[in-house]
Amino acid sequence: MITREDFVGRFGGIFEHSPFIAERAFDGGLVVEPLTASGVHAVLCRIFRATSVEERLGVLRAHPDLAGKLAIAGELTEDSRKEQAGAGLDRLTPDEHARFTALNSGYVEKFGFPFIIAVKGLTKNDILSAFENRIGNTPAEEFSTATAQVEKIARLRLEAMLPEG
């Protein structure tokens, strides 16, 4: 049986900088072995969805800006670094970087959290297009879209760690 320490150590970062989700899942007796990507995802998402709006907002705010200052400074989590690099966000031209910076600023100003998208399989142009479309959303629409993207990111991270099941 996996211990609390091992579970939180392994899955505490699935939701960016939010180990409390894994802690609550374990403490609530929701963890069932054998651990599979779909099983752990279902449990973590159940906890995430049950949190207060303020806690979910905190999870959204824990995400880095895409191609933002943390990326430039090399301060992304390893998962975020790999995800952004996979989409080419570590190889932007100066003009592309300026566009991402402007969109990031406008987005955070409007919504109060960074633009979040599961970048796996997307190009920088796909991401820019989604960014430009979603910035027109209402705050409620974007909160819903961003939380769904957080869950998708969690699923992709778990699929890289665990067998499907």
State how far the Cα of 6 lies from the Cα of 147, in Å rounded to an integer.
26
DSSP alpha helix (H) spans, 12-138: 20-27, 37-50, 53-61, 69-73, 78-86, 94-111, 124-134
C-alpha of 156 from chain center: 10
Task: Give me the residue label for tokens 């991402």.
Answer: 100
State how far the Cα of 52 lies from the Cα of 85, in Å rounded to an integer.
32
Given the residues 17, 41, 63, 97, the one annotated as active site: 63
Q: Residue 63 catalytic?
A: yes
Residue type for 29, please?
Answer: G
Helix or strand (DSSP H, E) at 98: helix 94-111
Catalytic residues: 63
